[in-house]
């Protein structure tokens, strides 16, 4: 099991992944759960995952993602894979090597190299305004307990239980 965070540091709501990494690490987890930041470049991450003796059976990624929802909305998505054409993949790799931090780039590049298990889940938080700063906007700050709960459920619950989880919490949808 791997839990990873993606996002920029010091960019308010867009920092939700890296900002909550210490809180995720401070929680009690079963043996075998690895928690780390995934901001160090998709190609290096691919190489790291390829070098594993035993691939992860589940990957959970926490990130901020704009999807036109109300700021602070937490969504749990199941990555189903699929790739764009070769030119689009090349563009994602080019963005990645120039330092762009993007869960979408990471997912597509990882998919291209076949590193993701069938159970790859994303906990997305709808960010507020994009601006520099250390503190979340009030909407995202209020969502932090739901975010931490969504990551924990995504990591530990069976996939079929996530699908039928009550909709008052994060919902699972196709990515």
pLDDT of residue 111: 92
pLDDT at 152: 96
Indicate the pLDDT class of residue 141, thresholds 50, 70 and 90. Answer: very high
Higher pLDDT, 167 or 41: 41
* CA triple 5-150-116, angle to 5 deg: 50
Residues 6+ apart with CB under 8 A from 91: none
| C-alpha span between 7 and 103 (Å, rounded) | 8
Please check whether residue 3 is in contact with residue 24, taking contact to mean a CB–CB distance below 8 angstroms. Answer: yes
Kindly indicate the confidence band of residue 163, based on its pLDDT and cuts at 50, 70 and 90.
Answer: low
This prediction has a pTM of 0.90
Q: How sure is the predictor about 91, in pLDDT bands with cuts at 50, 70 and 90?
A: confident
Structural domain harbouring 106: 2-174
Any long-range contacts for 87-93 (C-beta under 8 Å, 24+ apart)? 92/42, 93/42, 93/43
Return the structure tokens found at 93.
Answer: 């790799």
pLDDT at 166: 45
14, pLDDT greater than 70: yes
What's the burial of 94, exposed, middle or buried (CB within 10 Å: 0-12/13-18/19+)? exposed
Q: What CATH number corresponds to the domain at position 15? A: 3.40.50.1450
Least confident span in 58-67, 154-163, 165-174: 165-174
Q: What is the pLDDT of residue 173?
A: 53
Q: Per the structure, how many domains does the chain have?
A: 1
Q: Residue 32: its pLDDT value, please?
A: 94
Strand partners, 133: 11
pLDDT in tens, 22-69: 999 999 999 999 999 998 888 899 999 999 999 999 999 999 999 899
């Amino acid at each position: 099991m791997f839990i990873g965070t993606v996002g920029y540091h010091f960019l308010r709501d867009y920092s939700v992944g890296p900002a909550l990494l210490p809180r995720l690490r401070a929680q009690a987890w079963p043996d075998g759960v690895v928690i780390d930041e995934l901001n160090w470049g998709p190609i290096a991450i691919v190489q790291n995952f390829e070098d594993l003796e035993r691939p992860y059976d589940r990957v959970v990624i926490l990130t901020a993602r704009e999807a036109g929802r109300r700021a602070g909305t937490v969504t749990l998505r199941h990555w189903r894979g699929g790739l764009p054409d070769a030119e689009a993949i090349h563009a994602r790799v080019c963005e990645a090597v120039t330092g762009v931090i993007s869960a979408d780039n990471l997912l597509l590049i990882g998919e291209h190299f076949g590193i993701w298990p069938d159970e790859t889940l994303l906990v997305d938080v709808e960010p507020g305004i994009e601006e520099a700063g250390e503190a979340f906007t009030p909407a995202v700050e209020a969502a932090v307990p739901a975010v931490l709960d969504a990551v924990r459920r995504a990591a530990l619950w069976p996939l079929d239980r996530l699908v039928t989880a009550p909709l008052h919490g994060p919902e699972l949808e196709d990515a």
